[in-house]
């Protein structure tokens, strides 16, 4: 689990349960994306909450979740703001 400590002291991460985040202070958790099935039964990862793309289609939910995490780690986690 990667934590990005920003200059204002806030911490950014792709949420996981590897680290008890309550140990570092008060939490504010918000969704960075939505992984949902489409009408055709394929899975999509919509990253619009962080100004990202819609990824997909994926035949399996696990593939959409992995694509979501990969994109967030490569594009959102390291981006300032």
Residues 33-73 pLDDT 10s: 999 999 999 999 999 999 999 999 999 999 999 999 999 99
Q: Does 12 map to a domain?
A: no
Q: Does 47 map to a domain?
A: yes
Peptide bond before 38: cis, by omega within 30 degrees of 0?
no
CB atoms near residue 38 (< 10 Å): 12
Q: Does 10 map to a domain?
A: no
Q: Does 57 map to a domain?
A: yes
Q: What pTM does this model have?
A: 0.82
Q: Does 16 map to a domain?
A: no
Residue 41's nearest CA partner among 61, 24, 22, 55 is: 61
- Number of folded domains in the chain? 1
Domain containing 36: what range?
31-81
């Amino acid at each position: 689990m990667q934590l990005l400590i920003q200059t204002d002291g806030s911490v950014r991460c792709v949420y996981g349960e590897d680290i008890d985040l309550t140990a570092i202070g008060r939490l504010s958790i918000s969704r960075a994306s939505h992984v949902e099935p489409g009408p055709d039964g394929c899975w999509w990862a919509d990253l619009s909450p962080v100004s990202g793309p819609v990824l997909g289609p994926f035949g399996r939910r696990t593939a959409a979740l992995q694509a979501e995490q990969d994109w967030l780690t490569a594009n959102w986690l390291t981006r300032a703001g």
